[in-house]
Amino acid sequence: MATANEIKATARPQASTARTERRAGRVPGVVYGNNQPPLTISVDHADLRQRIYAGRFLTTVCDLVIDGSKQRVIPREYQLDPVKDLPIHVDFMRLAEGAKIRVRIPVHVLNAQDSPGVKRGGTVSIVTHAVEVM
């Protein structure tokens, strides 16, 4: 049984272009880090789109299953098509055991309308939209 934080991917041969992967319904990507050479992969388009739009994608540690072997990764960046708003590329960073990384956690204000200051006519002023955590 697969866990919720498991993403299935396939290794992409060097001869394969990103365009051919997108035509096949897959999103090209790269796995880098942990003093290993970068690995080009492709991920299922529907699965990746669902994870991105569900939220918390860039702050969730995942197990990337590449042709049967598991690697612990964290998504670092994804690119969306400017017109269709669909994912066109994704980058993952490998995590070694005991590794320390920096992650930007988004700040969400809850129940601002219920605060006494807002009820008296004040406003909520957000200074920063993310907090960096190590």
Whole-number Å distance between alpha carbons of 90 and 101 = 18
pTM of the model: 0.82
Question: For residue 125, what are its two tokens?
Answer: 């002023």
Per the structure, the complete domain to which residue 22 belongs is given by: 6-99
Residue 131 lies in a domain: no
Q: Give the pairing type, strands 62-66 and 6-11.
A: parallel
Question: What confidence tens digit (pLDDT) does each residue in 61-97 have?
Answer: 999 999 889 999 999 999 999 999 999 999 999 999 8
Residue 133 lies in a domain: no
For the chain, what is the total number of helices (H) and then of strands (E)? 3, 8
Amino acid, single-letter form, for residue 20: T
- Domain total of the chain: 1
**60 — phi, psi (to 5°)?**
-110, 130
Residue 114 lies in a domain: no
Q: What is the DSSP letter of 53?
A: H
Q: Is 10 left (phi over 0), alpha (psi -120 to 50) or beta?
A: beta
Confidence (pLDDT) at 1: 42
Question: What confidence tens digit (pLDDT) does each residue in 6-16 have?
Answer: 999 999 887 77
